[in-house]
Structure 1
Amino acid sequence: MNPSMPPVAELVGVTQRYGALTALDGLDLAVRPGELLALLGPNGAGKSTSIGVLLGLMRPQSGQARLFGGDPQDVVSRRRIGVMLQSAALPATLRVGELLRLTASYYPAPRPLAESAALAGVDDLLTRPYGKLSGGQQRRVQFALALCGRPALLFLDEPTVGMDIEARQKLWAAIRSLVGEGCAVVLTTHYLEEAEALAQRVVVMGQGRVLTEGSVDELRGRVGMTRIRCLSDLDADAVAGWTHVTAAGREEGRLVVTTAAAESVLRRLLDADTTLSELEVRRAGLAEAFVELSRQDKEAA
Structure 2
Amino acid sequence: MSAISISGLNKHYARVHALHDIDLTVERGEFFGLLGPNGAGKSTLINIVAGLTRFDTGHVAVLGHDVVTAYRQTRRLIGVVPQELAYDPFFNVREVLRIQSGYFGLHKNDAWIDELLAALMLTEKAGANMRALSGGMKRRVMIAQAPVHRPEVVVLDEPTAGVDVELRKSLWAFIRRLHREGHTIVLTTHYLEEAEALCDRIAILNHGKLIALDTKQALLMRGIGHTRRVCITTEQPLGRLPETLEKKVRRQEGNQLELRLDKSTDSVMAVLDALRAHGAVITDLNMEGADLEDVFVELTQTQKV
In the superposition, the TM-score normalised over structure 2's length comes to 0.88
Pick closer, same or farther for the CA change 1:94–1:124 going to 2, 3 Å.
Answer: same
Q: CA deviation at 1:264?
A: 4.0
Measured in 2, the distance between the counterparts of 1:165 and 1:87 equals 19
Whether 2:294 is the aligned partner of 1:288: answer yes
User: What is aligned with 2:93?
Assistant: 96
CA distance in 2, matches of 1:231, 1:77: 52
On the 8 A contact 1:12/1:64 being kept in 2, the answer is yes
Q: RMSD across aligned C-alpha pairs, in angstroms? A: 2.1
The partner residue of 2:81 within 77, 80, 84 is: 84
Asked if structure 1 preserves the Cα contact closer than 8 Å seen for 2:65 and 2:73, the reply is no
C-alpha displacement of 1:296: 1.4
The answer to whether structure 1 residue 18 and structure 2 residue 23 are counterparts is no
Counterpart of 2:140, as a letter, is R
Query: Is contact 1:226-1:260 (8 Å) kept?
Result: yes
Partner of 2:205, secondary structure, is strand
CA distance in 2, matches of 1:183, 1:39: 17
Query: Are residues 167 and 13 of structure 1, via their aligned partners in 2, closer, same or farther at CA, if it must alter by over 3 Å?
Result: same
**How far apart are the structure 2 equivalents of 1:127 and 1:230?**
51
Specify the alignment match of 1:3 in structure 2: none
* Number of the residue aligned with 1:138: 138
- Displacement, 1:241? 5.8
Unaligned runs of 5+ in 2: 233-237
Mean Cα displacement is larger for which, 61-70 or 85-94?
85-94
* Runs of 5+ consecutive residues of structure 1 not aligned to the other structure: 1-5
CA contact (8 A) 1:223 1:292 kept: no
Q: Which residue of 2 aligns with 1:254?
A: 256
Residues 149/258 of structure 1: CA separation in 2 closer, same or farther (3 Å cut): same
Partner of 2:226: 226
- Distance between the aligned counterparts of 1:175 and 1:162, measured in 2? 17
Deviation at 1:17, TM superposition (A): 1.2
Name the residue aligned to 2:41: 46
CA distance, structure 2, for counterparts of residue 26 and residue 273 of structure 1 = 47
Moved more, 72-81 or 123-132: 72-81
Q: Is this contact kept in 2: 1:113–1:148, CA < 8 A?
A: yes
Deviation, structure 1 residue 237: 5.9
Residue 235 of structure 1: CA displacement? 4.5
Do the aligned residues in 2 keep the contact of 1:10 with 1:66 (CA within 8 Å)? yes
> What does residue range 94-173 of structure 1 map to in structure 2 within 5 Å?
94-108=91-105, 110=109, 112-173=112-173
Return the alpha-carbon distance in structure 1 between the equivalents of residues 217 and 121 of structure 2. 31
Give, in whole Å, the separation in 2 of the partners of 1:113 and 1:260.
51
**Structure 1: distance between partners of 2:250 and 2:142:** 38
SS of 2:39's equivalent? coil
1:251–1:288 distance in 2 versus 1, CA, 3 Å: farther
Amino acid at match of 2:72: V
Are the structure 2 counterparts of residues 278 and 263 from structure 1 closer, same or farther at C-alpha, using a change threshold of 3 Å?
farther
| Counterpart among 236, 252, 269 of residue 267 in structure 1 | 269
Q: Which residue among 47, 64, 67 is the counterpart of 1:69?
A: 64
- Cα deviation for residue 71 of structure 1 reads 2.0
- Give the direction of change, closer, same or farther, for the CA distance of 1:29–1:252 in structure 2 (3 Å limit): farther
- The answer to whether the Cα contact below 8 Å between 2:242 and 2:274 also exists between their aligned partners in 1 is no
Query: Which amino acid in structure 2 is aligned with residue 238 of structure 1?
Result: E
Match of 2:215 in 1: 215
Aligned to 1:206: 206
Give the aligned length. 291
Q: Is the 8 A contact 1:236 1:248 kept in 2?
A: no
Q: Shift of residue 292 of structure 1? A: 1.2
The residue aligned with 2:25 is: 30
Q: Is the 8 A contact 1:237 1:249 kept in 2?
A: no
Amino acid at match of 1:287: E
1:39/1:189 contact within 8 Å kept: yes
